[in-house]
């Protein structure tokens, strides 16, 4: 089989579009299908509806090899390897909603020479269940490990590629391996259930590191230690490493909250209580709310206080606001009686009515004008470049900054007359507001 065989991609969301564009860049003809006709129409016009660095350029560069369609038959007739990239959101019970995956399986029809390559994050056991129902279709688990804001680079230079398959789908798994071989990444060949667990366990472990360093940050505040120095010293230990040791106001996004909860739920369904993940989730939720206490420490009651939130997206270089900390803060602040103004460079258009009651602004300066406090929620580079000592200080009613990502220059802000509160740094004394 040629290394440049055609590829099918089902679901052209964030993962699906990056996957489609990435394989096109590697020289494959890609047939990408989505049920939303407006999305497909936009992509055919060259419009990329997702903010992801480098993605728009990659799609434009490979337009001749990218074929966007709403018709499943177009994909099935042109490709045998069908990468399933549909959404699997959590249900009210905490389980993954697999209805979109089930719909894809049904749409395979009478196919007997295709393989479903599962990129969607699914519970352990999903592949086994699909194989029992459709023994005539190959099945390969190939979870994605893309980071929002760096997804194109992660596709082209992955840490590893996981390929899970049983003996009956070994030939299809070999073909999936061949697709990724030119990237030079380690390939983990394993069974389907282990491949499914690798994805959930990876995200759960990273979330655990974040919650752990946030707990250390909270203790450091009480004891006068600086979590930035603590994390630097910890990260030099090769057994620990420096990654995901940045203290802040909690993780968000489409992956960590969903996958941690899914693994906890999956363990519970099997009769095992995953106590550690219960604590990880609890710490993350409490961390988002500690900001309120920092503001009250300096301002007292928040009734009628003007609070500027800098950043809405759950992380910089993306417009994703799923499980975003800013949403929690905005509604908690409004619940305390504060007036909230919020600015984000790219994500505000995705908020819809989720920010009802808050004022969305066209610039950071507009959000900061007359503010009693500024809370840095998302570490967009432009926030560091603001003229804090001049323009910002003149705009604000009260020069109080809560740096939720330890992103700003605390020494420069204090020297300019700001009251600065970071995360896990020696606490500033309360001042009269």
326: Cα within 13 Å, side-chain hemisphere: 36
Contacts of 25 (CB under 8 A, 6+ apart): 58, 61, 62, 156
Q: Is 255 a catalytic residue?
A: yes
The single residue of 85, 142, 255, 361 carrying the catalytic annotation is 255
Q: For residues 403 and 414, is the Cβ–Cβ distance under 8 A? A: no
- Residue position matching structure tokens 């990056």: 18
Cα 17 to Cα 66: distance, rounded to the nearest angstrom: 10
- Which residues are annotated as catalytic? 255
């Amino acid at each position: 089989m040629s290394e440049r065989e055609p590829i099918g991609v089902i679901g052209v969301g964030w993962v699906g579009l990056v996957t489609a564009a990435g394989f096109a860049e590697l020289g494959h003809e890609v047939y990408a299908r989505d049920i939303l006709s407006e999305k497909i129409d936009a992509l055919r016009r060259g419009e990329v509806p997702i903010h992801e660095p480098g993605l728009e350029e990659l799609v434009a560069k490979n337009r001749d090899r990218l074929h966007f369609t709403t018709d499943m038959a177009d994909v099935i007739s042109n490709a045998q390897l069908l990468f399933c990239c549909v959404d699997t959101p959590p249900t009210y019970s905490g389980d993954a909603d697999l209805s979109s995956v089930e719909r894809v399986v049904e749409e395979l029809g009478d196919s007997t020479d295709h393989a479903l390559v599962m990129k969607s994050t699914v519970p352990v056991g999903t592949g086994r269940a699909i194989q029992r129902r459709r023994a005539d279709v190959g099945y390969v688990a190939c979870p994605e490990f893309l980071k929002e804001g760096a997804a194109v680079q992660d596709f082209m230079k992955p840490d590893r590629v996981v390929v899970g398959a049983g003996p009956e789908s070994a030939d299809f798994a070999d073909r999936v391996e061949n697709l990724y071989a030119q990237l030079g990444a380690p390939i983990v060949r394993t069974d389907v259930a282990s491949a499914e667990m690798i994805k959930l366990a990876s995200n759960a472990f990273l979330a655990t590191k974040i919650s752990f360093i946030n707990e250390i940050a909270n203790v450091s505040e009480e004891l006068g230690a600086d979590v930035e120095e603590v994390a630097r010293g910890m990260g030099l230990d090769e057994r620990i490493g420096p990654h995901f040791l940045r203290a802040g106001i909690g993780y968000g996004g489409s992956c960590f909250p969903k996958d941690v909860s899914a693994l906890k739920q999956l363990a519970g369904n099997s009769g095992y209580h995953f106590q550690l993940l219960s604590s990880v989730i609890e710490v993350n939720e409490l961390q988002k709310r500690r900001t309120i206490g920092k503001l009250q420490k300096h301002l007292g009651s928040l009734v009628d206080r003007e609070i500027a939130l800098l950043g809405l997206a759950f992380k910089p270089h993306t417009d994703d606001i799923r499980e975003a900390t800013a949403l929690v803060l905005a509604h908690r602040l409004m619940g305390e009686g504060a007036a909230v103004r919020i600015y984000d460079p790219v994500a505000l258009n995705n908020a819809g009515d989720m920010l009802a009651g808050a004022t969305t602004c066209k610039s950071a300066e507009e959000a900061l004008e007359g503010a009693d406090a500024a809370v840095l929620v998302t570490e967009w580079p432009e926030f560091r470049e603001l003229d804090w000592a001049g323009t910002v200080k003149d705009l604000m009613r009260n020069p109080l900054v809560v740096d939720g990502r330890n992103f700003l220059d605390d020494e420069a802000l204090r020297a300019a007359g700001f009251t600065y509160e970071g995360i896990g740094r020696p606490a500033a004394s309360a001042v009269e507001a």
